[in-house]
Structure 1
């Protein structure tokens, strides 16, 4: 299968989530590796954060978002000037 034939599968757990008055677009989709899921969070300013880790299930990916909110708080995903994204994230 080449890149043109690859089709992403978006999880029904993808959703907009409001935390502390800020809405985050939480996208969970299947990677090129069957059974592994990617977590991407877009903040209200349009900055995208993608977890480096792939998850064994859609629920694990959503749980990682909530763990980030508990451990790092919303500030880490709101700060568009930071050069170092929160742990396990790649900024896009």
Structure 2
């Protein structure tokens, strides 16, 4: 059953902080040979990239580039919400 499959997390998944805020960079296999990228903020809001990456290294580089370019604050959602939105 597909529901019994546990997503494979990349060893490259990590926390990223700018001193004021910390987010989790979650990278996991999509089950079809590609890697998915999600950034989770301290309020459990998520930013999910629509496109998959060929490697987990590419996904990590995309996350780091986005966090440095946009700033961690751009990925922090409201405290009361726990929804998701698309990457900037």
**Is the pair's TM-score, using the shorter chain for normalization, greater than 0.5?**
yes
After the TM superposition, list the runs of 4 or more consecutive aligned residues in structure 1 that deviate by more than 2 angstroms.
4-7, 83-87
User: What is the Cα deviation at residue 84 of structure 1?
Assistant: 6.4
Q: What is the Cα-based RMSD across aligned positions, in Å?
A: 2.1
Instruction: Tell me the TM-score normalized by structure 1.
Output: 0.76
What is the match of residue 90 of structure 1?
A: none
Aligned residues: 84
Alignment partner, residue 48 of structure 1: 46
Task: Give how far 1:79 is off.
Answer: 3.6
* Uncovered stretches (5+) of structure 2, i.e. residues with no partner: none
Which residues of structure 1 form unaligned runs of 5+?
Answer: 88-92
Where relative contact order (Cα < 8 A, 6+ residues apart) is larger, the structure is: 2
Write the distance in 2 (CA, Å) between the matches of 1:84 and 1:45. Answer: 14
- What TM-score results when the alignment is normalised by the length of structure 2? 0.79
Superposed displacement of residue 32, structure 1: 2.4
